[in-house]
A and B are shown apart, each in its own frame.
Chain A
Amino acid sequence: MTRLRSLNEKGIDELRGFLQRIRDGEEFQANPAILYLDDYSQRLPRAIEIEPRAFANKFEAAEYLAGVLADVPAPDDDVGLWSWLALFYFDQLSPIDAGGKRRPREDYHYIPSTESGGWQHGRHLLAGPYKLYTLHRRNARLLLHPPVHQHGAFIYDLGFRRDLITNKGLIEAIDLLYWDTKRNRPKRGATTPSRPGNLRRLIAVIQQLDFNFDLYGMRADEILQILPPEFDAWRPPPLLTPGEARETAFLTRAGES
């Protein structure tokens, strides 16, 4: 276990240099000293323990961090905290590629951008998923399905529309439409442009419906009700009342015999 810390200005400068040196071909060294030296980072006022972990996907990382950070403020623009976390989990945020090299992405994936309202805002590979998880909990599983070092199609398509991505009813509706509960992963074809009712079509339709409906105030089932038929194939099966379920089971058995 390690005590969570926050990079100071010198530490953040060092992290920028660290990223550049790896881009330039220098070998990556796990657990660099700046994570622990008081010259580069400081302990949080409250002792928080954190452990190295291998995350299967962004959801797992966000769920773990939400637990670790439950009792401390962790706004996504806390540059020191999220930069320290990115460095702590850097081997997963910039894994070795097929060519045997780590290729760090732009700095804002590891150091939160402070540009006001810029599109890089929210692109931090850990702070972004953490924020989505704390907002939507389980319903964020579709958005956070990709590995921690990737953003994925769902976030690319939705992430730039803050009114959509913060809409709890809509995100639940998207989960109901496109999450495969049996295989525990997004349904096949959900982001395939040629498939009717794919995610991009949904965003286009939602933007049209937004003119006449107050989508932000609607529940997931209310949003699903106003979608056109092209989304029928993606809809979850209707929930059955206990009586209907018994009747269905009886009919199924009768049909089999």
Chain B
Amino acid sequence: MLIMLRKLNFTERARIPRANVRVTLRRDADGTLLFDPRLSFDGIDAVPSTRVFIEAYYRTSFMRFDCGSIGHFTPPEDRRLTDIDGTSLVHFRVKLVDNEGNEHRVVAVADDIVVSEEKPERAGRMPLLPVNFTDALGQQAWRIAFEPNGPVLELNNRLHDIKEVAKSDAAFFALVYPAAVRQVLTQILLVDEHDAHEEGEEWWNLWLRWAARFASSPLPDDADEAPLWIDDVVDAFCNQQTPIDRWRAARRESG
């Protein structure tokens, strides 16, 4: 049974709008990954002395950067992500901390800002399916990894030219993306049995809202009907993206 619920926030901390946060990744001359943050504190109810921390994490690795205060935002010069395990995908958390009176109280947070080296995070947008190129897939070309912050499309970087293939190969799109969409929606509705929150910003809510744009019927109340709804979404997604037509056209062009 899928239920629409309004989410309640029992913590005292506020949410920093995603549109206020822009983070990009790049490599320095030595090839070390580093990040560049741009933050706006507009609309955030906090005093200028509120401390600003940016935390970077990926799976079990973690780094934290003291970026001064709201009134004097000064990210450190050394923003190299040396302790983040080798990856092209990094999660960021921006934390505003009121330390007046040494209370260390978190007043606002923006979490799960997923930034890919290949596809910079744009203000106010979060990729639904970030891509991570990895050498840990053995003989698998791709797989969906379900991490606490949402699904990640892992691609085997032992495949020649995989970054280019993922970006522009019509056959790759046709074979991978519809299957990936189906797997993620199946995970949300049938495996995890998530409720569809009306205002939630959890990854599954964002996915369900995205999928609902394609579906010809509303999200079913009955879980037994969820597979049909998922079929409908994948079908509409393919009708919009026309992967088969694009694949055939690409073959004609190359042949």
Contacts and interface: CB of A to CB of B under 8 A. Distances in A.
Interface of A: 77, 114-119, 121-122, 159-163, 166, 211-218, 222
B94 to A, nearest CB: 12
Given A114-B135, A117-B60, A212 B11 contact: yes
A214 B104 contact: yes
Contacts of B95: 214
B10 to A, nearest CB: 9
B131 interface: no
Residue among A119, A161, A213, A222 with the highest chain B CB neighbour number at 10 A: A213
A214 B106 contact: yes
B104 A218 contact: yes
Q: How large is the interface on B (under 10, 10 to 19, 20 to 34, 35 or more residues)?
A: 20 to 34
B60 A166 contact: no
B254 interface: no
A121 B86 CA distance: 11
A77 B132 CA distance: 20
Contacts of A216: 53, 55, 64
Contacts of B53: 214, 216-217
Contacts of A162: 57, 60-62
Given A122-B60, A163-B57, A116 B86 contact: yes
13 contacts: A115-B136, A116-B135, A116-B136, A121-B60, A159-B60, A160-B60, A162-B57, A162-B60, A162-B61, A212-B11, A212-B13, A213-B104, A214-B105
Contacts of B97: 214, 217
Given A116-B134, A162-B60, A212 B106 contact: yes
Please indicate which of the listed interface residues B55, B58, B60, B87 has the most CB atoms of chain A within 10 Å of its own CB: B60
A116 B85 contact: yes
A117 B104 contact: no
B59 interface: yes
Nearest to B88: A116
Nearest to A131: B83
B102 interface: yes
Given A214-B104, A217-B53, A117 B11 contact: no
A122 to B, nearest CB: 7
Interface in B66-111: 85-87, 95, 97, 99, 102, 104-106
Contact of A118 (B59, B99, B102, B106): B59
Nearest to A162: B62
Interface in B17-61: 51, 53, 55, 57-61
Given A114-B135, A116-B86, A163-B62, A212 B57 contact: no
